[in-house]
């Protein structure tokens, strides 16, 4: 078994207690790596290292342009290791190697984009209405940013936070998920290789329930960037609130993929398949509800099932595999639990509906691609995030009804629309309560495009021009320039 170390102040270190825990390969169901099990004192060390680096001339003294160049170098270093990192992710979280390779090869673009923005944070001169006063603003970093990320896209979701936070001049403490810490720890040496001063990025590993509070509540953590489920998000938000700390929250979803009668059905079927079965449904933007116009419902379902039945399950490291395992044992149990709930609620199981007992699935945590029809919009399977390969198909009759059903959950992360009518594209884009609306496509993301949730799917935006503003604060500077004597000091000027 590989034994890993955390990254604190530029050094590979064990947890102070020396304790470790096992990371599992979801394809084999067996442990394959030992990860340091941090406690609150390790969090203190990580935050102290980040705080020290934040104040150090090696980091604070850099011009924004020089900072940007370091991030560009980091992008190059990551690019050179992309395939290797992808393989670690696949072994650790079971996502398909083809997807992880593509994701890791694209990941440097986040660092390049924000590297370019590092020296474009400009202050303003305010035309203040007080004669003799010169007023300007400074855009300053916050300090130490803590990032807490889930297991489904470990490096990408960390990069979405790290790239803008570092570009703005902050330092970083990164807590990966206990289920997928390997790729973060494999990435640890790359920061020094790129020339980042020690302590600018620190990685602390362990259980969220054991170190999450210590990290979020730490007085020297200036902001928390969180991606995960909404229940954990609410806990993190409460702890942050008690400590008057800003947060950015990327939470779960129950996204609707809406297929209108005028859609290119072939594309729509593929789009809905990709929305729910890619990444084995373990993406925050999973299109887990297919809203299908009643006039094409039966034909859509028939074509959808025909395609879904061809899905090849198996070893995620094989390039021919199309549906991999569920990443964690608890998640596997949760997905099967939701399948039982859907059956007991009266939804009709048209495909799958249980563990995958195919020989190519070995001892891994596999669930059959599952499709429920006759789903009512208020059923739990249509309201709650499953985070697995389970689709709920819901018919609709009018555009208004489609909008009502699509918006009728507490989430608002993403939505898909399949139609050939331009006017309908525009109205649906406007009426859907979701941070991202994909039209005649699904799951496209880019460092240039803002990403985030409406409603219970979170707040704040990652990626895009404004994402860097999550990690700066504006300082107003007022200078007396007229040389006038200080007036009555006992009243506010």
Triad 270, 276, 277: Cα angle to 5°: 80
Residue 470 touches ligand NDP, criterion: CB under 6 A:
no
193 classed as catalytic: no
Helix (DSSP H) and strand (DSSP E) numbers for the chain: 15, 21
Q: Which stretch binds ligand NDP (CB under 6 A): 75-83, 210-218, 420-428, 468-476?
A: 210-218
- For residue 71, the minimal CB distance to ligand NDP (Å) is 21
Residue 152 touches ligand NDP, criterion: CB under 6 A:
yes
Neighbours of 60 (CB within 10 A): 13
Q: What is the CB-side half-sphere exposure of residue 439 using CA atoms within 13 A? A: 13
- Conformational region of residue 259, where left means phi above 0, alpha means psi within -120 to 50, and beta covers everything else: beta
The pair of three-digit structure tokens given for residue 426, joined into one six-digit string: 């525009």
- For residue 210, the minimal CB distance to ligand NDP (Å) is 8
Residue 181 touches ligand NDP, criterion: CB under 6 A:
no
Q: Which of 208, 324, 389, 460 binds ligand NDP (CB under 6 A)?
A: 208
Q: Which stretch binds ligand NDP (CB under 6 A): 51-59, 62-70, 175-183, 196-204?
A: 175-183
Residue 436 touches ligand NDP, criterion: CB under 6 A:
no
Q: Which of 10, 68, 143, 150 binds ligand NDP (CB under 6 A)?
A: 150
Nearest to ligand NDP of 203, 361 (CB atom): 203
**Strand pairing category for 289-293 and 256-259:** parallel
- For residue 385, the minimal CB distance to ligand NDP (Å) is 5
The stretches of 384-447 forming alpha helices (DSSP H) are 399-406, 422-431
Candidate list 250, 368, 462, 470, residue with the active-site label: 250
Residue 209 touches ligand NDP, criterion: CB under 6 A:
yes
Q: Which stretch binds ligand NDP (CB under 6 A): 76-84, 229-237, 376-384, 468-476?
A: 229-237
Per-residue mark of binding to ligand NDP, 330-369 (x: CB under 6 A): ----------------------------------------
- For residue 222, the minimal CB distance to ligand NDP (Å) is 16
- For residue 173, the minimal CB distance to ligand NDP (Å) is 12
- For residue 233, the minimal CB distance to ligand NDP (Å) is 7
The stretches of 345-487 forming alpha helices (DSSP H) are 380-383, 399-406, 422-431
Instruction: Enumerate residues 232-291 that contact ligand NDP by CB under 6 A.
Output: 232, 235-236, 250-253, 284
122 classed as catalytic: no
Structure-derived torsion over alpha carbons of residues 153, 155, 158, 162, reported in degrees to the nearest 10: -150
Instruction: Enumerate residues 446-465 that contact ligand NDP by CB under 6 A.
Output: 453, 458
List, in order, residues 6 or more apart from 258 with CB less than 8 Å away: 291, 292, 396, 402, 406, 415, 416, 417, 418, 428
* 194-224 per-residue burial string, b: 16 or more CB within 10 A, e: under 16: bebbbbbbbbbbbebeebbebbbbbeebbbb
Candidate list 89, 178, 186, 284, residue with the active-site label: 284
Instruction: Enumerate residues 363-422 that contact ligand NDP by CB under 6 A.
Output: 385, 387, 413
Alpha-carbon distance of 366 to 30, in angstroms, equals 14
Triad 206, 46, 49: Cα angle to 5°: 165
Assess contact for 289 and 280: CB atoms under 8 A: no
The pair of three-digit structure tokens given for residue 350, joined into one six-digit string: 């048209």
Q: Which stretch binds ligand NDP (CB under 6 A): 56-64, 108-116, 182-190, 228-236?
A: 228-236
Structure-derived torsion over alpha carbons of residues 341, 345, 349, 354, reported in degrees to the nearest 10: 10
- For residue 126, the minimal CB distance to ligand NDP (Å) is 35
Assess contact for 230 and 36: CB atoms under 8 A: no
Q: What is the CB-side half-sphere exposure of residue 437 using CA atoms within 13 A? A: 20
Residue 163 touches ligand NDP, criterion: CB under 6 A:
no
Q: Which of 227, 280, 288, 409 binds ligand NDP (CB under 6 A)?
A: 227
The stretches of 316-379 forming alpha helices (DSSP H) are 329-344
CA distances from 112 to 67, 155, 158 (A): 12, 15, 15
The pair of three-digit structure tokens given for residue 293, joined into one six-digit string: 């116009």
Binding footprint of ligand NDP, residue count (CB under 6 A): 32
Q: Which stretch binds ligand NDP (CB under 6 A): 17-25, 34-42, 202-210, 371-379?
A: 202-210
- For residue 121, the minimal CB distance to ligand NDP (Å) is 24
Per-residue mark of binding to ligand NDP, 43-82 (x: CB under 6 A): ----------------------------------------
Which positions touch ligand NDP (CB under 6 A)?
148-152, 157, 175, 177-179, 207-209, 212-213, 216, 227-229, 232, 235-236, 250-253, 284, 385, 387, 413, 453, 458
Which residues participate in catalysis according to the annotation? 250, 284
């Amino acid at each position: 078994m590989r034994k890993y170390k955390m990254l604190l102040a530029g050094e590979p270190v064990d947890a102070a207690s020396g304790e470790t825990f096992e990371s599992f390969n979801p394809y084999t169901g067996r442990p394959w790596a030992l990860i340091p099990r941090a406690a609150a004192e390790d969090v203190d060390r990580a935050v102290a290292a980040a705080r020290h680096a934040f104040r150090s001339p090696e980091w604070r003294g850099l011009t924004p342009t020089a900072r940007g160049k370091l991030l560009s170098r980091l992008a190059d270093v990551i690019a050179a290791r992309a395939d290797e990192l992808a393989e670690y992710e696949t072994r650790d979280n079971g996502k398909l190697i083809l997807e992880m390779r593509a994701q890791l090869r694209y990941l440097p673009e986040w660092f390049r984009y924000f590297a370019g923005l590092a020296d474009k944070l400009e202050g303003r001169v305010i035309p203040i209405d007080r004669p003799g006063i010169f007023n300007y603003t400074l855009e300053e970093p916050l300090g130490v940013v803590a990032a807490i990320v889930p297991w489904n896209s470990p490096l990408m979701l960390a990069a979405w936070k790290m790239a803008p936070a570092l570009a703005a001049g902050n330092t970083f403490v990164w807590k990966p998920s206990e289920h997928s810490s390997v790729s973060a720890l494999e990435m640890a040496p790359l920061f020094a290789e790129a020339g980042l001063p020690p302590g600018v990025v620190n990685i602390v590993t362990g259980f969220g329930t054991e170190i999450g509070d210590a990290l979020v509540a730490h007085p020297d953590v200036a902001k928390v960037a969180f991606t995960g489920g909404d229940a954990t998000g609410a806990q993190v938000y409460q702890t942050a609130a008690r400590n008057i700390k800003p947060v950015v929250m990327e939470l779960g979803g129950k996204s609707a993929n809406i297929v209108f009668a005028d859609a290119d059905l072939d594309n729509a079927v593929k789009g809905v398949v990709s929305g729910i079965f890619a990444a084995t449904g373990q993406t925050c933007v999973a299109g887990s509800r297919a809203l299908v116009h009643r006039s094409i419902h039966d034909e859509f379902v028939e074509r959808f099932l025909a395609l879904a039945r061809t899905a090849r399950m198996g070893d995620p490291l094989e390039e021919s595999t199309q549906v991999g395992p569920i990443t964690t044992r608890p998640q596997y149990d949760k997905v099967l639990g939701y399948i039982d709930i859907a059956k007991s609620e009266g939804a009709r199981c048209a495909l799958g509906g249980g563990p995958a007992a195919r020989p190519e699935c070995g001892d891994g945590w596999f669930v059959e691609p599952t499709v429920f029809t006759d789903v009512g919009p208020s059923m739990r399977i249509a309201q709650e995030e499953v985070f697995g390969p389970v689709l709920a198909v819901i018919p609709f009759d009018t555009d208004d009804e489609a909008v009502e059903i699509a918006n009728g959950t507490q989430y608002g992360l993403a939505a898909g629309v399949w139609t050939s009518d331009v006017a309908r594209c525009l109205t649906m884009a406007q009426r859907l309560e979701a941070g991202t609306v994909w039209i005649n496509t699904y799951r496209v993301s880019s460092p240039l495009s803002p990403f985030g949730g409406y409603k219970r799917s979170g707040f704040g935006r990652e990626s895009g021009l404004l994402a860097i503003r999550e990690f700066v604060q504006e300082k107003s500077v007022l200078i007396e320039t007229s040389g006038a004597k200080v007036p009555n000091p006992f009243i506010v000027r």
